[in-house]
């Protein structure tokens, strides 16, 4: 991440942490990190490893793409959704219907 990306990441991390009404220490505990690490990530003085990025995203219930500034919606995805769409396009109409039904069932089962 360049300097601009670090600032964007830190700001997004802080913004979503505050939206979730978590202190830095609470987020650190949820993500199994040191509170000082969260502080360094928010200020841009340090960059998270891939594993820590994933932990932060999971703890905040957002995508890594959102934290990295690749998408503007906290739960939006880029590459994964694109891959699924490409696979969907290859299915027969009947199998698309089955896939749509499965997605609706999973969506209904998801916690709100």
Q: What's residue 36's pLDDT?
A: 96
State the total domains in the chain.
2
Whether residue 94 is contained in a domain is answered as yes
CATH of the domain at 44: 1.10.260.40
13 & 55 share domain: yes
Q: What is the pLDDT along the chain (112 residues), one digit of tens a residue?
A: 445 555 589 999 999 999 889 999 999 999 999 999 999 999 999 999 999 999 999 899 888 888 998 887 776 554 556 566 667 767 788 888 898 898 889 888 877 6
Residue entry with tokens 């830095």: 24
49 & 93 share domain: no
The answer to whether 14 and 78 are in contact (CB under 8 A) is no
Report the half-sphere exposure of 35 (CA within 13 A, side-chain side): 5
pTM listed for this prediction: 0.63
Question: What's 78's DSSP letter?
Answer: S
Whether residue 73 is contained in a domain is answered as no
Q: Which domain holds residue 100?
A: 79-109
8 & 49 share domain: yes
């Amino acid at each position: 991440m360049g300097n601009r990306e670090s600032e964007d990441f830190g700001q997004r991390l802080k913004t979503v942490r505050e939206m979730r009404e978590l202190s830095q220490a609470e987020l650190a505990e949820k993500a199994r990190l040191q509170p000082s690490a969260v502080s360094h990530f928010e200020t841009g003085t340090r960059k998270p490893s891939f594993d820590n990025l994933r932990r932060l995203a999971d703890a905040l219930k957002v995508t890594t793409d959102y934290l990295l500034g690749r998408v503007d919606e906290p739960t939006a995805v880029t590459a994964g959704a694109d891959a699924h769409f490409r696979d969907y396009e290859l299915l027969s109409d009947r199998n698309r219907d089955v896939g749509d039904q499965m997605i609706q069932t999973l969506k209904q089962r998801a916690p709100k």
